[in-house]
Structure 1
């Protein structure tokens, strides 16, 4: 990548990562001193500057590893449905005529009707379709691995794919630009997962770790006095008190655990280190399935879409279609 300093504190651009530096930049953009840069209600910036800032923030998180030209041509949808409420002009025209006619009763009646319509529009929640601009990016195999919490960052997920540590539907897959289809299963080599570490033996665990695992008060012997046994893969048995037993488990960083989650369109099996891409992400009133650090229907997403609305994909020729990244539909 051209930009190696991804977590620069001066720019503070959130990325797809669970590192300390990225979470700190995310806090600065959300609640810190840089939160005012995305508040465009009272600003002296021009509309062009607002759109460029929104586009810069959006692209830094959603697919900064994708070339801008490639993103415009293959990952940008041609259209997005406009669900913003459009206020009719008939009532305003009648209110203006009543004002000039000096009819206070008619003006009061029209104003009351207008207030009821506005209240009804506010109560009716609209789906945040602006976030669907990134639905094609969320289908990428490296992004799916990161969303499934099988990689520390999307850049680690790309390395896993390129180095042959990932299987797609049971076959080795090394194309990180592939877009998955509903029903595809992605499996990751457990040795390549940084979150997966061997669990220490019970004899070496502290009282706090035992309490966290729920093993502090667990009896180690059965009612008849025999020791609790565990069946080994080769058919034998071993005691849980043996010091040689180490079982792998996911050890998430303490600073990232409260923020890690799995989207609704993925089905993850941490025991098998695999994830199934169930369906394409959608949006419903008041909720968007695409994770984003910004408001799914806020000013940043809307201004970014307005920036890209002028560079929508053109009609693609056969020569251009031959260079399209792998799309499994």
Structure 2
């Protein structure tokens, strides 16, 4: 038999509590909660704790607002933005220059931020006790001046300071020629013992003798070098003698030729001497003498040595200037080129 589901639902549905005679019936809008069972225990809700990040944010104190810093580059020059008012910035700069004590510019709000045009000094660096604070200097040791420095006070303080000429180092040896040392060029070497004021004083007027000497020197140097040499040499300039190589370059190609093929040694010597003397008298300069290589001779070439001996003798007599073999080497050459002396 199937169970009756309606009967079960009616049994599970809680019944309404009975009304007392003095109580009114509840309205339909009010919803009545079912009675809670005592055997079930409702666990307590956990306490809501704020998140750690939220707690930290709430516990952080607010930072004090800083004065707006001007945008400057690494050289301390303010960088202008597209939206900046140039008239207002220029007026503020003029007001700051007129009244530096009552400056209301942004960089005057903080003592650690200086004027953008002034060079900042390293932070945290203070002068030791007993020592006068020195002005900022560049890498060459030259003091850096700002637009608020008084040049009169600077130079007056430098004038009142003792000069280095009066100071003497204890460990420095005393030399008699300490102030008269000169370098290898004869120029005096300036040292801390030199008095620049005395050295830079006006030079006394030159004596008349020195004036005459300077005038004579100027007059002598007024002419050019060629005029001075002409006065010393009486107008005669010796010409430079040409070298042998330069003279041979001016000689023409061979103008005459002598063939000694088939001649004996005695005949070759006589014919060579006669031919050269005749050509020198005719005014020729370059000759060619064919002596042969001796290819058809059993003992080899004989005429080259005979002709060379005759040319050496004629060179001593002043008829031959020089000679050369056409191939550069006597063993490989079959002719010799002879250069004669000029007949005049």
Bucket of the pairwise TM-score, normalised by the shorter protein: under 0.3
Name whichever structure is richer in strand by fraction: 1
In terms of fraction of residues, the more helix-rich structure is: 1
- With CA pairs under 8 Å and 6+ residues apart, which has the higher RCO, 1 or 2? 1
Largest Rg, 1 or 2: 2
